Chain A
Amino acid sequence: MPRQRLYSLEELEDIPGTKVFTAKSSRLAYHLHKFCMSLMAADNREAFKADERGYMDRFKIPEAQKQAVLERDFSKLIELGGNMYFLVKIASTDGWSAQKAVGSMSGMSPEEYGAMMIEGGRSPEGMRSIRENR
């Protein structure tokens, strides 16, 4: 007998403001992520900084993802299949802190986001389930 799932896969999409990174999303972002990991070498970071689009053209990245990288739109990149552990390498190349990169998705200014974290972070109240509104 196969073992039962403890929850349906749809429930992974029931968390507000959250996109769970899956094997399928990894496929969508494969070339984007390959580019991100290339930024782990200093000479590649320099080449990217010198010509962002030209550097990205070395990879088979879909145009929408390239555009989102140029705009440093991390929310869009997550929506298009990206995962933050890859994407943060773009932020590091820019000299951004992880907090600045992560906070940029929250709709808050870096100052507001930083203050929220000092105050104890974002409460999970009302942020657990879309369906159950809790």
Chain B
Amino acid sequence: MARITAGVATSHVPAIGAAIDNGKMADPYWAPIFEGYEFVKQWAKDNTPDVVILVYNDHASALMLDIVPTFAMGFADEFLSADEGWGRRPVPVVYNHIDLAAHIAEQLVIDEFDITIINEMDVDHGLTVPLSLVFGQVEEWPCKVIPLAVNVTQFPTPSGERCWKLGEAIRNAVKTFPEELNVQIWGTGGMSHQLQGTRAGLINKEFDNRFLDLLAHEPEELATWTRLEYLREAGTEGIELIMWLIMRAALGYGVEELHRFYRVPASNTAVGHVVYKALS
């Protein structure tokens, strides 16, 4: 049987990817951020999964113009890194686990999540920056990846509560996959940031740290926070944090927080990162 053994959450700031690709990781601005990922890099070597279900949002790279799916699953055999305006990130091709993806899609519909299937797309920094942060600069990614794209950009976005329920449904789906698989779920994006208007540069450390406090052991409370609260408190792009709820709900009731990191800023954004071991 497949099992979700652990969860990782991390911001996916594009400038972090650029710092990695351009060899700036030791610069004084970036070094303290990459130090926060030393733990997960080692942990991932000792706990390499077979598959990562990677929850992220597309930043108008493959989606958002003609089609805006609320929840969409990448279903191609492989995904290339997108050219977001400065060339493709020099990272390995992302390979899918089609059998597990197909099983999850089937089960999600039974659980009333009618998921969109995407048969061709490139994946942008939202997906590739977390892979680089956790697995480093490698020739090939050490596991398969099922991209799960969430619309957190165009209102109406899904609610935090809906994301929570999707996470629960993913948990149930993975549990019923007959093959032995070690599966991790990653939630990405956030933490507080706003990329527009005269409120640009908004950071809310209190909000972010309250979120991190609750996420591990009292996450049900987070599921009741409205989208308006995220916008007001964490900025128009801070609402990406609802994707962390999908990760957390998919881990089930109890988790052990193996690592937590928070730092301001990376470019316009507060960086948050946690590693959870599933206990049930």
Contact = CB atoms under 8 A, between A and B. Distances in A.
Contacts of A103: 200-201, 268
Contact of A42 (B87, B153, B194, B195): B87
Contacts of B82: 40
A124 interface: yes
Contacts of B59: 85, 88
Contacts of B202: 121-124, 127
A12 interface: yes
B228 A6 contact: yes
Contact of B267 (A12, A17, A97, A129): A97
A105 B192 CA distance: 18
Size band of the interface chain A makes with B: 35 or more
Interface string B93-133: 00000000000000000000000000000000000000000
Contact of B265 (A12, A88, A117): A117
Interface residues of B, number: 44
B201 A106 contact: yes
A50 interface: no
B201 A98 contact: no
A18 B153 contact: no
B172 interface: no
Most buried by A among B85, B153, B194: B85
Interface of B: 14-15, 59-61, 64-65, 68, 82-87, 153-156, 192, 194-205, 207, 226, 228, 231-233, 236-237, 264-265, 267-268, 270
